[in-house]
Amino acid sequence: MAEKGIRIRGLKKRYGSGDTAVDALKKVDMTVTPGEVVGLIGPSGSGKSTLLKCLGAVIEPTGGQMVLGDHIIYDDGWKVKDLRALRRDRIGFVFQAPYLIPFLDVTDNVALPAMLAGSPNSDARKRAMDLLQALDVGHRAKAMPTQLSGGEQQRVSIARGLVNRPPVILADEPTAPLDSERAMAVIRILNNMAQKFETAIIVVTHDEKIIPTFKRIYHIRDGVTYEEKGKGRAFE
Amino acid sequence: MISLAGRDILHTWGKFIFTGFGLGLLIGVTLIMAGVYRGMVDDAKVLMDNSGADLWVVQKDTLGPYAESSSIYDDLWRGISIMTGVARAANVTYLTMQVRHGDRDVRAMVSGIAAGGPGLPGWPPYLVSGRQITRGHYEAVADIATGFRLGDSIQIRRNQFTVVGLTRRMVSSGGDPMIFIPLKDAQEAQFLKDSYAIRQQRRRTAENPAFNRPGVPGLLDAVIASQSVNPFVNAVLVQVENGHRPEDIAQQIRKWKRLTVYTRPQMERILIGKLIATSSKQIGMFLVILAVVSAAIVAFIIYTLTLGKIREIAVLKLIGTTNRTIAFMILQQAVALGGIGFVVGKIAATFSAPFFPKYVLLEPLDSVSGFIAVVLICIISSIIAIRAALKVDPAEAIGG
């Protein structure tokens, strides 16, 4: 049974204090339901990365509320003791560059978060293999990251983000280094995976070519989010 | 859970092997230094063991015959040999000198041994070829390390000696190979002057009015005659009869002969504690420096390798890897590097030891201690890299 996506209410983040304080996030409201892929768009310095880091439990917000599924994870303070376990078990990450571990082969790169979560190696590898096949890179399972193309690396990175079946995936400009064709392929995969695993996916992007593919878009400007209904035409 | 350190090492095995090889040569030098010290200690013990003595009788208040010069009359052994509890006593001389061998000089310790045959203190206890000295003059038994062969002729001062026997591991406390010659020849070699010097000495004696007095016609000849013989040896080596304590015999000799006597434990303390003390401190300093340099190299390499993986470490942290796992990964790599280095060092030391001019004794226990030291150094050296890795913010994996 999938959890109920992610809900954010009035999230704030202030860096520094006194005269030098900077309000990176002033009021962020966002809801992403399971199986949905939403875009998060904004100019440089608008607070996109700060929001992603707050959502990823990497930095602590200074106010507001974050609910992941049925669990309040932040409400004017962390409500979860082990943030590392939270990231490992309930949040998946897909980065701008794939950042695969260069000394692990494709299978182990994908299986690693599952192994870290305590799954036996054989189970973790089986789940990794299933995901790799679902993402059409099963044939590269034994390859090292440097032997993959950019698109393949990004698909492996997506598989790694999904291996623990997290209710939320945070994708930080996942199509930036890819050409149009590969970028569209990655977005198609994210949509498919979101529906297949009922995962809520937030895609931070600048990429003009993929923006029309989102059904819903959150714009962020000066630390405040605005929702816009997207066209979502590519996958309708 | 898979071994992250093992996978990283396999992935960059070339870098690890080459780095480990370089570190290994340094560890090899460290093991050799320890081996040189052990060799010096062994040389000192071999010298004592091969002398076959239980007691060393030397000039009063000296640390002779190895650590200081000692000179005693060559007839003292007679009185010592008849003392209760003394099995055998024999004179001995030691003279370190350059011995001519063909076109080259060989540094050797020439030992004069009293007539009497094998088993007498001071004689080489065994031969590897040839025979022991049987004639009273101009025969020699040489350690094989001198390079002499049977039948070779050795020039010691003005006299020629024929090598009649070869022995092995007969060395001075300084590691110089030994040459055994008859005692009378050795006494002559120690004090014999050349003809010009003898004429000079006789002229000076004759010109001295104290020795050349008109009223005492035989005095000058008597003085000159006394100057042409050498009645001294460096020590008397004593073997104690079974059932007697060497310390008791030593006490008797000290009491009645007014000489200094050392037992084996005392001589061992002199040879190891005094004679090679400075050298061992020197080697100890080198060992400390080499250990510090090794630690610095390991620390630098591991730190550099870790800095090269900062992004990967950030990703690992972001996806939930514990600090303990990351620290253990770096620690394993440091220990693996040390392990590779130790194996290379041990092999290098084992194969290069025979080529060193001095005896290098590689003790298994030193190797074990060395391995433990290498592991400890690697663990300590990895701390800087571990600190750097633990400071990595998982947020670095996310852009912005």
B312 chain-A contacts, CB cut-off 8 A: 99, 101-102
The answer to whether residues B110 and B245 belong to one domain is yes
d(CA B32, CA B345): 9
Residue pair A157/A138 in contact (Cβ under 8 Å)? The answer is no
For residues B315 and B170, membership in a common domain is answered with: no
In terms of domains, do B145 and B66 share one? yes
Instruction: Outline where DSSP puts E strands in A33-146.
Output: 37-41, 63-68, 71-75, 91-94
pLDDT digits (tens, 9 = 90+) for B135-183: 989 999 999 999 999 999 998 888 899 999 999 989 988 889 999 999 9
B399 — pLDDT class (breaks 50, 70, 90): low
Q: Which of B181, B197, B211, B229 is nearest to B74 (CA)?
A: B229
In a domain, B159, yes or no: yes
- B45 contact partners, CB below 8 Å, separation of at least 6: B268, B271, B272
| Domain span including residue B167 | 60-192+230-258
- What is the spatial distance between Cα B321 and Cα B310, in angstroms, rounded to a whole number? 14
Chain B residues near residue A147 by CB distance under 8 angstroms? none
Residues near A67 by beta carbon (within 8 Å), at least 6 away in sequence: A6, A7, A8, A9, A73
| Domain assignment of residue B215, yes or no | no
Q: Which residues of B fall within a CB distance of 8 Å from A173?
A: 399
Q: Do B320 and A95 touch (CB under 8 A)?
A: no
Residues B361, B322 within the same domain: yes
Strand-strand pairing, A37-41 and A216-221: parallel
Mean pLDDT of B114-119: 88
- pLDDT per position as a tens digit, B19-50: 889 989 999 998 999 999 899 888 888 889 88
DSSP code at position B194:
P
- B324 shares its domain with B367: yes
Q: Verify that B92 and B237 share a domain, yes or no.
A: yes
B199: Cβ contacts below 8 Å, ≥ 6 apart = none
Residues B38 and B64 in one domain: no
Same domain, residue pair B312 and B245:
no
Q: Which of A58, A84, A160 is the closest to B398 by Cβ?
A: A58
Q: Which of A85, A95, A117 sits opposite B397 (nearest CB)?
A: A95
Q: In this predicted structure, what is the pLDDT of residue A49?
A: 86
Name residue, tokens 């002969």: B257
At residue B4's C-alpha, the angle toward residues B3 and B7, to 5°, is 85
Please count the structural domains in chain B.
Answer: 2
Among the residues of A18-120, which ranges form H helices?
A: 48-55, 83-90, 106-116
Q: Quick one: closest CA in A to B2, which residue? A: A121
Contact A161, A94 (CB under 8 A): yes
B353 inside domain: yes
Report pLDDT for A232: 62
Mean pLDDT over B327-342 rounds to: 92
C-alpha atoms less than 13 angstroms from C-alpha of B149 in its C-beta half-sphere = 1
| CB-neighbour burial class of residue A202 (10 A; exposed 0-12, middle 13-18, buried 19+) | buried
ipTM: 0.83
B358 inside domain: yes
- pLDDT-derived band at A236 (thresholds 50, 70, 90) equals very low
Q: For residue B257, name the pLDDT band (cuts at 50, 70, 90).
A: confident
Domain boundaries, chain A: 6-235
pLDDT at B369 over 80: yes
Average pLDDT, chain B: 90
User: Counting Cβ atoms within 10 Å, is residue A180 exposed (0-12), middle (13-18) or buried (19+)?
Assistant: exposed
Whether residues B106 and B253 share a domain: the answer is: yes
The per-residue pLDDT for B301 is: 86
Confidence of residue B400 (pLDDT cuts 50, 70, 90): low
Q: Which of A106-120, A132-146, A168-182, B132-146 has the lowest mean pLDDT?
A: A168-182
Give the pLDDT band (50/70/90) at residue B81. Answer: very high
Q: Are residues B145 and B243 in the same domain?
A: yes
Let me know if residue B205 belongs to a domain: no
Residue B381's pLDDT band, with cuts at 50, 70 and 90, is confident
Q: Are residues B21 and B93 in the same domain?
A: no
- Over the stretch A81-128, which tens digit does the pLDDT of each residue have? 889 899 988 899 988 888 899 999 999 999 999 999 999 999 999 999
Nearest CB to B321: which of A95, A116, A121? Answer: A116
Domain A6-235 has CATH 3.40.50.300: yes
Please list the alpha-helical segments (H only) found in B52-108: 76-81
Which of A53, A101, A173 lies closest to B315 in CB terms? A101
The verdict on B187 and B126 lying in the same domain is yes
Residues A31-68 pLDDT 10s: 999 999 999 998 888 888 899 999 999 899 999 999 99
CA dihedral B34, B40, B43, B47 (to 10 degrees): -150
Residue of B nearest to A162 (CA): B319
Q: Does A173 touch chain B (CB under 8 A)?
A: yes
Q: Does B60 score more than 90 pLDDT?
A: yes
pLDDT digits (tens, 9 = 90+) for B290-329: 888 888 888 888 888 888 888 889 999 988 899 999 999 9
The confidence score (pLDDT) of residue A234 equals 45
State pLDDT tens for residues A203-215. Answer: 998 888 888 889 8
Residues of A in contact with B16 (CB under 8 A): none
B89 falls within a domain: yes
Q: Which pLDDT does position A148 carry in this prediction?
A: 93
Question: CA of A204: how far to CAs of A199, B59, B91, B339, in Å?
Answer: 16, 95, 97, 46
